[in-house]
Amino acid sequence: MKQIIFNGRKNVISDSLKHYRQTLKLSQNALAARMQTFGCNIDQQMISKIEKNTRQVTDYELLCFCLSLHISPADLLKDYLTDNK
């Protein structure tokens, strides 16, 4: 897969994802388990890489994160949207 970098980042949700996960007091393993209930094949190590901004996020992973955390895509993207108005 071709590596894509956007403004020096592999994804734009890393900080928001970690914030919402910790707010709900979920471990990365617990979040991975929730994601898997929506059919998203992701594990703790992948979530760690996303939060460290060393892995890209697919559109279906973004959707499953939102469903798993009970938030909207705008919530996960808010830091990027706010910084780039």
> What does the pLDDT profile of the chain (85 residues) look like in tens digits?
566 888 888 999 999 999 999 999 999 999 999 999 999 999 999 999 999 999 999 999 999 999 999 999 999 998 777 765 5
Contact 5, 38 (CB under 8 A): no
Cα distance between the two ends of the chain:
30
> What single-letter DSSP state applies at residue 52?
T
pLDDT score at 83: 62
Contact 28, 44 (CB under 8 A): yes
Q: Please give the CATH number for the structural domain made up of 14-83.
A: 1.10.260.40
38 contacts: CB under 8 Å, gap ≥ 6: 64, 67, 68
pLDDT score at 8: 85
pTM of the model: 0.89
